[in-house]
Amino acid sequence: MLTYYITDRAQFAGTEPDRRSQLLQTIRQAASAEVDYIQLREKDLCARELESLAREALHLIRSESSSKLLINHRTDIALALGADGVHLTGADIAASDARALTASAHRTEPFLIAASCHSSHEVRLAESHGADFAVLAPIFEKIGIVKNGIGLEELSRAAQKDKSLDLRVEAGEARRTFPVFALGGLDLQRAALCANAGAAGIAGIRLFQQCANLQELVRTIRSL
């Protein structure tokens, strides 16, 4: 199972400098624990502040591990800084448009495109537009938010767990299922249920950000 830490400095106590410092420390710990993907999701920051924070986060990640940094929403900032990719919301451009921007930037390294989805139908759209993976949410009801989760059956449909492989010659040996990450109201017990439903990975904010031992958490999730 893959891991995807989504940042939210508003969950930390103290002044803005305190929250920023705690966030960067958590990013360092996540990178040290070899979290696969880290999404910088500080939506309230202006472009200049986000770019500054992203630059620091990228430096920490590159000095610690092979974790990949994705920038929420801002494809332009991700490309300008040399981040590993972008995470697109439902209100953003399509993954195909982001891919076109990547091509025009003449980037030599692969550029990852993740897409937020809320149904199996949206997952199929993200796949058709060339996203690398989807983050499906909320699987379960979020903590402190009165909103019903979409459930494990929808996750299984999105992940196409029970879909038989295309064994035709023209399908090629490289064919694989489109990766879907589960997000929303997860703890380790629910993460195991998501793994059984076909999720390729586990995404979370509190799950990672409020964890006392990220290395142990990552090992446990990878073993699911």
Per-residue confidence band for 174, with pLDDT thresholds at 50, 70 and 90: very low
Better-scored residue on pLDDT, 105 or 91: 91
The CA distances from residue 210 to 89, 108, 187, in Å, are 24, 36, 11
Render pLDDT for 38-75 as a digit per residue (tens, 0 to 9).
999 999 999 999 999 999 999 999 998 999 999 999 99
Write the DSSP string, 103-130.
HHTT-SS--EEEEEESSHHHHHHHHHTT
Per-residue pLDDT averaged across 135-154, rounded? 84
Per-residue confidence band for 171, with pLDDT thresholds at 50, 70 and 90: very low
Task: Supply the CATH number for residue 20's domain.
Answer: 3.20.20.70
Q: State how far the Cα of 115 lies from the Cα of 133, in Å rounded to an integer.
A: 7
pTM of structure: 0.92
Whether the pLDDT of residue 135 is over 80: the answer is yes
Structural domain count, the chain:
1
Per-residue pLDDT averaged across 105-109, rounded? 84
Which residues span the domain enclosing 118? Answer: 2-222
